Structure 1
Amino acid sequence: MTRPTVPAFAVRPVVTVALIVGAVLTALSGRYGYHRDELYFLVAGHHLNWGYVDQPPLTPLITRVSTTVFGDTVMGLRVLSALSCVATVIVIALIAREFGSDRRGQLLAAVCAAVSGFVLGVGHMVSTATYDLLAWMLIGLFAVKLLRTGDGRWWLALGLTIGIALENKYLVVLPVAALLVALLIVGPRRVLRSWWLLAGVTIAGLIALPNVIWQFQHDWPQLKVAGGISDDDGTENRIMFIPLQILQLSPLLVPIWIAGFLRIWRTMPWARSIALAYPVLCVVVLATGGKSYYALPLLLVLVAAGCEPTLRWIDRHRHQAVVALVLAAVTSAVFTLPILPASAADFVIPVNKEQGEQIGWPRFAASVATAWEQVPAAQRSTATIVTGNYGEAGALVRYGPGLGLPTPYSPHMSFADWARPPDTNTGPVLLVEIERTPIFESHFRSCEQVGTVNSIVSNDEDGAALVLCRQPAEPWSTLWPKIRQFY
Structure 2
Amino acid sequence: MQQNLFLFGFILIKFVLQYFLIDSGYDLHRDEFLHLDQAHHLAWGYISVPPVTSWFSYLIYLLGYTEFWVKFFPALLGALTIVLVWKTIEVLGGNLFACSLAAIALICSALARLNLLFQPNSFDILAWTFIFYTLIKHIQTGKNSWFYWMGIGLGFGFLNKYTIIFLALGLLIGIIFTKERKIFKNRHLYFGLGIGLLIALPNIIWQIIHDFPVIWHMRMLNTYQLVNVNRIDFLTEQPLFFIGSIFVLIFALISFFTYPPFKNYKFLFFTLVSTLTIFTFLRAKAYYAISLYPIFFAFGSLYLTQLLKNGRMRYLKPVVLLIPIVVFGLMIPLVFPFRPPEKLKEVYKKYPELQLTRWEDGVDHDIPQDFADMLGWKELATKVDFAYSKAPSDEYTVIICDNYGLAGAINFYTKEKGLQAITMNADYVNWIDLSREIKNVILVREASDIVSEREISLFERSEEIGTITDPNSREFGTIIHLLLGAKTDINSILAREIDEKKAELRE
Range of TM-score over shorter length:
0.7 to 0.9
The match for 1:121 among 99, 104, 113 is 113
Residue 171 of structure 1 corresponds to 163
Residue number among 13, 26, 31 corresponding to 1:20 in the alignment: 13
**Which of the numbers 408, 421, 425 marks the counterpart of 1:394?**
408
Counterpart check, 1:481 vs 2:494: no
Counterpart residue type for residue 270 of structure 2: L
- Tell me, in whole angstroms, the C-alpha distance in 1 between the residues paired with 2:234 and 2:122: 20
CA drift of 1:362 comes to: 0.7
> Structure 1 residues 11 and 335 mapped into 2: Cα distance closer, same or farther (>3 Å)?
farther
- Map of 1:255-404 to 2, 5 A cutoff? 255-267=247-259, 268-311=262-305, 312=307, 315=314, 317=316, 320-331=319-330, 333-334=332-333, 337-341=336-340, 343-346=342-345, 347=347, 350=357, 353-368=369-384, 372=387, 384-402=398-416
In structure 2, the residue matched to 1:454 is 469
Is 2:19 aligned against 1:40? no
User: What's the counterpart of residue 5 of structure 1?
Assistant: none
Structure 1 CA distance for aligned equivalents of residues 191 and 47 of structure 2: 30
Counterpart contact for 1:51–1:211, Cα < 8 Å:
yes
1:78-227 paired onto structure 2 within 5 Å: 78-117=71-110, 119-227=111-219
**Is this contact kept in 1: 2:333–2:344, CA < 8 A?**
no
Aligned-partner SS, 1:358: coil
| Cα contact 1:66–1:79 (8 A) shared by 2 | no
Give the residue type in structure 2 aligned to 1:190: K
Deviation at 1:483, TM superposition (A): 4.4
Q: Deviations over 1:51-109 (max 9, x none)?
A: 2221122111112113413x321113333332222211111222334555333112211
| Cα separation, 1, equivalents of 2:69 and 2:13 | 19
Q: Matched residues in 2 for 1:434 and 1:140: separation? A: 47
> How far off is 1:467 after superposition?
6.9
More displaced stretch, 345-354 vs 279-288 = 345-354
SS in 2 for 1:78: helix
What is the letter of the counterpart of residue 426 of structure 2? M
> Root-mean-square deviation (CA), in Å?
3.6
Cα separation, partners in 2 of 1:445 and 1:284, compared to 1, 3 Å: farther
Higher mean C-alpha deviation, range 93-102 or range 195-204? 93-102
| Offset at residue 356 of structure 1 (A) | 3.3
Letter in 2 for 1:325: P
CA contact (8 A) 1:181 1:277 kept: yes
Alpha-carbon separation, structure 1, partners of 2:455 and 2:433? 16
Q: Secondary structure at the match of 2:343?
A: helix
Provide the C-alpha distance between the structure 1 equivalents of 2:413 and 2:10, rounded to a whole number of angstroms.
37
**How many residues in Structure 1 have an aligned counterpart in Structure 2?**
470
* Segment drifting more, 408-417 vs 476-485: 476-485
Distance verdict in 2 for CA 1:355–1:304, change over 3 Å: farther
In the superposition, the TM-score normalised over structure 1's length comes to 0.84
Amino acid at match of 1:90: V
Residues 155, 200 of structure 2: 8 Å contact kept: yes
State percent identity of aligned pairs.
Answer: 20
Question: CA–CA distance in 2 between the matches of 1:445 and 1:474?
Answer: 17
CA contact (8 A) 1:444 1:473 kept: no
Is contact 1:120-1:336 (8 Å) kept?
no
SS at 1:135's partner residue? helix
Return the alpha-carbon distance in structure 1 between the equivalents of residues 258 and 448 of structure 2.
53
One-letter code of the match for 2:402? G
Query: In structure 1, the residue corresponding to 2:41 is in which secondary structure?
Result: coil
DSSP 3-state at the match of 1:409: strand
How many angstroms does 1:333 deviate by? 4.5
Specify the SS of the correspondent of 2:136. helix
Give the letter for the 1:363 counterpart.
E
- Of residues 340-349 and 443-452 in structure 1, the stretch that sits farther from structure 2 once superposed is 443-452
Unaligned runs of 5+ in 1: 1-7
**Alignment equivalent of 1:73, drawn from 56, 66, 91:** 66
Matched, 1:414 2:449: no
- The 1:320/1:236 distance shift into structure 2, 3 A limit, reads farther
Matching residue's letter, 1:103: L
1: distance between equivalents of 2:397 and 2:40? 25
The answer to whether the Cα contact below 8 Å between 1:345 and 1:355 also exists between their aligned partners in 2 is no
Distance 1:60 1:178 in 2: 28
Change (3 A) 1:280 1:62: same
For structure 2, list consecutive stretches of 5 or more residues without a partner in the other structure: 349-355, 359-367
- 1:394 Cα deviation (Å)? 0.9
Q: Report the CA distance between 1:39 and its aligned residue.
A: 1.9
- Tell me by how many angstroms 1:194 deviates: 0.6
Question: 1:169-208 CA deviation, whole Å, 9 max, x = no partner?
Answer: 2221211220111111233211121111111011111111
Q: CA deviation at 1:265?
A: 3.5
What secondary structure sits across from 1:170 in the alignment? coil
